[in-house]
Structure 1
Amino acid sequence: MMATIKIPYAKGFMEANIPDGQLLAVLQSKAHAYRPSAGEEELVQQALEEPIASLRLRELAKGKRKIVIIASDHTRPVPSKIIAPLMLREIRAGNPDAEITFLIATGFHRATSKAELIEKFGEEIVNTEQIVMHDCLDLKNMVNIGVLPSGGQIVINKLAMEADLLVSEGFIEPHFFAGFSGGRKSVLPGIVSEVTVLANHCAKFIASDKARAGILEGNPLHVDMLYAAQQAKLAFIVNVAIDAEKKIIRAFAGDPVAAHAEGCAFVGELASVQAVPADIVITSNGGYPLDQNLYQAVKGMSAAEATVRQGGVIIICAACNDGHGGEAFYNWFTEASGRPEKVMEKIMRIESDRTIADQWEAQILARIQLKAQVIVVTDQCDPALVENMNMKVAATLTEAVRMAQGIVGEQATFTVVPDGVSVIVRD
């Protein structure tokens, strides 16, 4: 007998058949089966009306002239079409004359295109509201506000610091080195300079055993991020939890620390799964928009890393229609002839104050490759890009399964993690 597995890919799915006797487990977040208590808009509205450890946003907005809303970029499936209009209505209920600006938290990513903004917010907001794109390299629009606990400089977008009220929207999911997304991450790395991102994403921090999905306590990256958000005076957040369909299942609004902590507890409970070690692990980045490039695909791979046997194979379905996602990230492997041990050795010699762009992503990918062979399933990316980074490429999931069995044997065992970014795989 064969089991048919269905893996998110781009805006659809890929399928393959696995022998029943060789399929050990399918690890999925309980969020995908969670039944929300209300509709999406109602959930967000309820959160805004009953904020956690905070006054309502409309009260905070009173008397504030410049209000900045930090919003996620095109790489995050934040349902801003629902969240943003409700936040705008709430702010204007308390202050109809406020000058509101959306600041897109690109972090270290490329700028979000107008088409992507429209898909994210809808045409009305894009055409009628003030939207500014953060650029981590544009130092003339930055200001230095202090020093991180790690010693790095906090250089942040001026718009945020000139705001009379700084708020953010986002979503909470497991994050492969920051513990969870959302909350403080809107500030660091969202709207800070390259200098600040590099200091926070140093090799020593990434190598920490606390820098893993689902871990906040003792996570050195989280400590820095939290401090930066506090120094930036982030006053209020609206964060949501979503299911596999990218639909809102809970909303958390209010104090940036307390609301985020409550959201992380909820997501952590739903997302935690027990590792089931296997020779071959099949996963994804949950499809669009997180599977647009190889850089982001490392997140899904890290979930598979937690349950693949040493010397096994990780298969990740990721469209990667946007290519490698970062020239510096790509070059780490091309300059090392694709050898992960060489990449890792070079990165671990770099001092914390000498961090190089995208070395953290290369460090994690090298760590994964030192444990398992990676096969990327894509029919939308140049195969040479994948192969130059020491990974194999297949056009279909069925082809990838055959390739993997060719590496570890026909009787190899399988664990499937359909959406790698939605789970916390615990030992």
Structure 2
Amino acid sequence: MHTFSLPFGKEKIKFELPEEQVAGVLVSHAHEYKAPKSEAELVADALANPIGSPKLSELAKGKKNCVIISSDHTRPVPSHIIMPQLLAELRKGNPDIDITILIATGMHRATTKEELIAKYGKEIAEHEKFVIHVSRNDEDMVSVGTLPSGGDCRINKVAANADLLISEGFIEPHFFAGMSGGRKSVLPGIASKVTVLANHCSEFINSPNARTGILQGNPIHEDMLYAAKAAKLAFICNVVIDADKKVIAAFAGDREKAHYAGVDFEMKLAGVKPVPADIVITTNGGYPLDQNIYQSVKGMTAAEATCKEGGVIIDVSSCSDGHGGEDFYNNLKNAESIQKAMDEILARGRNETVFDQWEAQILMRMLLKFTIIMVTEAPQQMVEDMHMKYAASIDDALAMAKDVLAKKGITDPKITVIPDGVSVIVK
């Protein structure tokens, strides 16, 4: 028997499969990579040796204020390690600099005080100045140009008015931006809803280049690069993490050069070849990435890349916060026909995008090809409203999957397992 342990919220779910049923196991090499130094030392080294940029302490000199864009509660960025060093570097170069930490919520809900403490530690959470970005607050935004897509590039005025704008984040495969990190802290991180909607239009999401691991020719990435430049993002500190959310590499410096260096490192570790199977079991990497169904679509796309058409994707995600977006949920719930709903989304122009349609579009893309079963803490009715099937356990999901396939004449299905669906690039 082959024993698996899958991340599920803050816990693990174990199950077994007969060896003869396992077609393959797709795992990022990041999970076996041994970092040469401690997490704090890796970040310190990156800051001491910035790529294509002066040191942060040099950039801080002569500046009245600095805004640090920081990822929100949905991202496993180890801010408790990165942020103290960023603050120390800034104050080393300029003890009097006024620092604001701008939480890049993108289109997510606001981060709570408890989540700030968990992310940064009590000292920083209670003594530093924080601003929570709210993309729907038009009065908080200012235009800084026009995106290549034609959309108005509007960002949080706190960032736009900064003498020095920097960001922290992490680099992982992303299901339509290609890779996370770098420029993504600005768009969608601190962008207006108007800008995000233009960038996440159905035309761009439908592009074959808007896929995991692809940057070249990716229209979503190109918009994001423009936004970061227009915002005058001067310096980034991005890390790569393993399955335990531990830092294994760090890259600091120029917003593009440092990011691309990190992307190259991650691409070498994350790339795996598909192992086609009738059933693919995937996850969203556990907490905090599997807090809701919205986020869990990412892990499903890894399964999409290796599941045989007409097969079954089993997504193991806690989703303790439920669907993660009312608009996303309603897009699916109100769809009498997935094909008809998809046609309606694809017919919308770049400036006609509605909230969360991109996530619905990607989930619908998969639902048109596969049966999706969720092993989750989300309510069964919610899952079924979204045209997926609900299972209380992996064994139940496998029984349901085999029943679905048996009706198609597949009686001995093979299974591919992806223990961390957001950490791999299946290509």
**TM-score normalized by the length of structure 1:** 0.98
Aligned: 1:392 with 2:411: no
- Aligned partner letter, 1:424: I
Tell me the secondary structure at the aligned position of residue 420 of structure 1: coil
- Aligned partner letter, 2:248: I
Q: Deviations over 1:147-191 (max 9, x none)?
A: 001100011100001100000000000000000000000000000
Tell me the secondary structure at the aligned position of residue 75 of structure 2: coil
Distance of 2:357 and 2:37 partners within structure 1: 42
Aligned to 1:4: 3
Distance of 2:349 and 2:47 partners within structure 1: 43
Instruction: Using the TM superposition, give the Cα deviation of residue 273 of structure 1 relative to its aligned residue in structure 2, in angstroms.
Output: 0.2
**TM-score normalized by the length of structure 2:** 0.98
Q: Percent identity?
A: 58
Aligned to 1:372: 370
Contact in 2 for aligned 1:17/1:398 (Cα 8 Å): no
- Aligned partner letter, 1:423: V
- Aligned partner letter, 1:50: N
Distance of 1:364 and 1:54 partners within structure 2: 37
Tell me the secondary structure at the aligned position of residue 42 of structure 2: helix
Q: 2:340 aligns with which of 342, 351, 354?
A: 342
- Aligned partner letter, 2:104: A
More divergent stretch after superposition (405-414 vs 7-16):
405-414
Instruction: Using the TM superposition, give the Cα deviation of residue 343 of structure 1 relative to its aligned residue in structure 2, in angstroms.
Output: 2.0
- Aligned partner letter, 1:196: T
Tell me the secondary structure at the aligned position of residue 245 of structure 2: coil
Aligned to 2:379: 382
Instruction: Using the TM superposition, give the Cα deviation of residue 340 of structure 1 relative to its aligned residue in structure 2, in angstroms.
Output: 2.0
1:287-326 maps to which residues of 2 (within 5 A)? Answer: 287-326=286-325
Distance of 1:95 and 1:374 partners within structure 2: 53
Q: Deviations over 1:270-325 (max 9, x none)?
A: 00000010000000000000000000000000000000000100001111111111
Aligned to 1:243: 242
1:110-189 maps to which residues of 2 (within 5 A)? Answer: 110-189=109-188
Aligned: 1:329 with 2:328: yes
Distance of 1:14 and 1:313 partners within structure 2: 20
Distance of 1:17 and 1:60 partners within structure 2: 54
Aligned to 1:203: 202
Distance of 2:55 and 2:313 partners within structure 1: 46
Distance of 1:413 and 1:279 partners within structure 2: 6
Contact in 2 for aligned 1:15/1:398 (Cα 8 Å): no
Aligned to 1:91: 90
Aligned to 1:63: 62
- Aligned partner letter, 1:419: D
Aligned to 2:416: 415
Contact in 2 for aligned 1:7/1:15 (Cα 8 Å): yes
Give the ranges of 4+ consecutive aligned residues of structure 1 lying more than 4 Å apart after TM superposition: none
Aligned to 2:399: 402
Tell me the secondary structure at the aligned position of residue 74 of structure 1: coil
Distance of 2:341 and 2:318 partners within structure 1: 25
1:38-49 maps to which residues of 2 (within 5 A)? Answer: 38-49=37-48
Aligned to 1:75: 74
- Aligned partner letter, 1:352: R
1:260-271 maps to which residues of 2 (within 5 A)? Answer: 260-271=259-270
Distance of 1:212 and 1:309 partners within structure 2: 18
Distance of 2:13 and 2:335 partners within structure 1: 32
- Aligned partner letter, 1:421: V
More divergent stretch after superposition (399-408 vs 382-391):
399-408
Instruction: Using the TM superposition, give the Cα deviation of residue 352 of structure 1 relative to its aligned residue in structure 2, in angstroms.
Output: 1.1
- Aligned partner letter, 1:402: A
Contact in 2 for aligned 1:187/1:228 (Cα 8 Å): yes
Distance of 1:296 and 1:88 partners within structure 2: 30
1:351-370 maps to which residues of 2 (within 5 A)? Answer: 351-370=349-368
> RMSD across aligned C-alpha pairs, in angstroms?
0.7
Q: Deviations over 1:50-106 (max 9, x none)?
A: 000100000000011110000000000000000000100011000110100000000
Aligned positions, number? 423
Instruction: Using the TM superposition, give the Cα deviation of residue 401 of structure 1 relative to its aligned residue in structure 2, in angstroms.
Output: 1.3
Give the unaligned 5+ runs of structure 2.
Answer: none
More divergent stretch after superposition (18-27 vs 183-192):
18-27
Distance of 1:369 and 1:313 partners within structure 2: 10
Distance of 2:15 and 2:35 partners within structure 1: 31
- Aligned partner letter, 2:339: E
Give the unaligned 5+ runs of structure 1.
Answer: none
- Aligned partner letter, 1:240: V
Distance of 1:7 and 1:400 partners within structure 2: 14
Contact in 2 for aligned 1:14/1:396 (Cα 8 Å): no
Distance of 2:393 and 2:241 partners within structure 1: 28
